[in-house]
Structure 1
Amino acid sequence: MFKKIVVPVDGSESAWRALEQACALAEKFEGELLVLTVIQPYNNAALLAVPLDHNIISQSNADLEEVGKEILARAREKVTETGFTGAADYRIELGHPSERILTISKAEKADAIVLGSRGLSGLAEFFLGSVSTKISQYSNIPVLIVK
């Protein structure tokens, strides 16, 4: 039933709870996990109106990739801590989070997406919209949103 589960993580507490739930589901159904973190580069259209030094943007994007690697390293630890014995793949993606999660889920022929209810907060969430809301609206596969 749930042979391949996509689990987006961003380092938030709800993402870690979602990862635990995904491990339990995958273990129960003898499935595998695709744990991914999505980095949204600074060179997006929202920043076109702000005059920024391109060296700062390049450095910031490199910093974001390092943060992504740290998040995935922590995700590996958490998967191990749950006792999950199945296969797990870990990946960093670049782009808009909800778009990348949906695209990867479709390309990988995933059976479900398990994600936290809140990652961003405050002003950023107001302008970007909730990733979990967008995923649940546009996904063609089951979505489990963990609080």
Structure 2
Amino acid sequence: MKILVPIDGSDCSFRALEFATGMATRYDAALHVVHITDARDEATDAILERARDVLDANDVEDEPDVRTDISLDFRPSDRIGEDVVELVAEEGYDHVVMGHHGAGAVERAILGSATETVMDAERVPVSVVP
């Protein structure tokens, strides 16, 4: 089994990562962490370092990856969700674990939701961690 965990630096994405490390250990699955952004900067490096700490603390081997998408200017959450769906198809992931911010209907209408985009694609099972 191959598990993908997209992270955005939020606490809920790191709760999802913690959940996924337990899942990977329990099912002897490969786990991969990805951060999708429009530009790599110091904040990106801090997110990756925090992810490495979680992986190391849970004895999970992975090197978090950064994917750069310069088209994240309009409804970036929807675009990130589409990038995750593409990554699932390209790399053959069996499961996705994502955090969800619990935004209201107005925020989702304006900003979109990466998690909802991945779930709506119905490519693989998705575990949503609040």
Taking structure 2 as the reference length, the TM-score comes to 0.82
Distance 1:106-1:9 versus aligned 2 partners, 3 A rule = same
- Stretches of structure 1 lacking an aligned partner (at least 5 in a row): 42-60
The correspondence for 1:144, drawn from 103, 122, 127, is: 127
Q: Report deviation, 1:89.
A: 3.3
Which gives a bigger RCO, structure 1 or 2 (Cα 8 Å, sep 6+)? 1
Residue-by-residue CA offset, 1:25-70 (whole Å, 9 max, x unaligned): 100111111100010x3xxxxxxxxxxxxxxxxxxx4xx4332222
Aligned counterpart, 1:36: 34
Q: Report deviation, 1:104.
A: 1.0
- Cα distance in 2 for partners of 1:121, 1:33 equals 30
The correspondence for 1:100, drawn from 75, 83, 87, is: 83
- Cα distance in 1 for partners of 2:82, 2:123 equals 13
User: Highest Rg: 1 or 2?
Assistant: 1
Taking structure 1 as the reference length, the TM-score comes to 0.73
Equivalent residues, number: 121
Aligned counterpart, 1:133: 116
Which 4+ stretches in 1 moved above 2 angstroms? Answer: 119-126
Q: Report deviation, 1:80.
A: 1.6
Measured on the aligned residues, the alpha-carbon RMSD in Å equals 2.2
- Cα distance in 2 for partners of 1:27, 1:108 equals 20
- Stretches of structure 2 lacking an aligned partner (at least 5 in a row): 70-78
Distance 1:125-1:112 versus aligned 2 partners, 3 A rule = same
